Amino acid sequence: MYQQAQPHDSIVEIFPHVFLLRGSMRLGRGMRISRNMTLLRHNGELTAINAVRMSRCGEQQLESLGKLSHLIRLGNFHGLDDRYYVDRFGATFWCQAQSKHYSDPPPDRLLQKDLALPVPDVELFIFEHARRPECALLLKRYDGVLITCDSLQHWGDRRYCSVPVRLLLPFIGFHRRTLIGPLWLKYMAPSDGSLQADFERLLQLRFAHLINAHGSLLRDNAHQAATTAVQHAFSHQRTSPRT
């Protein structure tokens, strides 16, 4: 019923009460890619974002940090381990409506505009023009921490990627820099439009750091890197005025 835990690091506190788990997922024989989970702690309770199942040792470390009370899915194509976390920890599950690539478990709370989230100082950003549900979170502390899924990614290294995947990634557009996920953009862009306006709106947010569901953490210059990534992705399109 559940996928087995895959290789991962220990949980690291990257900012006060903000934790990162760098792990992996198996795509097929000899194919493994990195996958990350973010944990936010508030009043002794943990909110997990972009769930990644851990080993029993990893779960013991998690339990030492607080009670896992909430689980948030940001991206439509993620959710492999959501059912496990709901069953194992009794976490309240949050996702957008129609986030059904993994239809189980059903959401307890729907992520939508102006919804109160379980951690204070966190703002929900929704990609309004995407063909499938996708959102991000902005933690308004530490000069702004943007938490994404597949949309905006930073590949500072290839850790936990198997050799075949490391060789493949540059050929499908995953270079070692900050980028908009090329496969994600292909499947999520509307057939008669663009996601440029959504990303221009994203750039209006104030953030210095980026945590994404793949790749690696980007500290300090994330907004500039994101700006460059958006310009690169939409350089062939006419720039629309910001509102």
Count of alpha carbons within 13 angstroms of residue 54, beta-carbon side = 24
pLDDT in tens, 2-36: 888 899 999 999 999 999 999 998 887 878 899 99
Q: Are 39 and 18 in contact, with CB atoms under 8 Å apart?
A: yes
Q: Which amino acid is at 86?
A: V
Q: Are 142 and 115 in contact, with CB atoms under 8 Å apart?
A: no
3-state secondary structure the chain: CCCCCCCCCCCEEEECCEEEEEEEEEEECCEEEEEEEEEEEECCEEEEECCCCCCHHHHHHHHHHCEEEEEECCECCCCCCHHHHHHHHCCEEEECCCCCCCCCCCCCEECCCCCCCCCCCEEEEECCCCCCCEEEEEECCCCCEEECCCCEEECCCCCCCCHHHHHHHHHHCCCCCEEECHHHHHHHCCCCCCCHHHHHHHCCCCCCEEECCCECCECCCHHHHHHHHHHHHCCCCCCCCCC
12-112+119-233 maps to which CATH number?
Answer: 3.60.15.10
- Spell out the per-residue pLDDT of the chain, length 243, in tens: 788 889 999 999 999 999 999 999 888 787 889 999 999 999 999 999 999 999 999 999 999 999 999 999 999 989 899 999 999 999 999 999 988 787 789 999 999 988 899 999 999 999 999 999 999 999 999 999 999 999 999 999 998 999 999 999 888 888 989 999 899 999 999 988 899 999 999 999 999 999 999 999 999 999 999 999 999 999 865 544 443
pLDDT of the residue at 3: 85
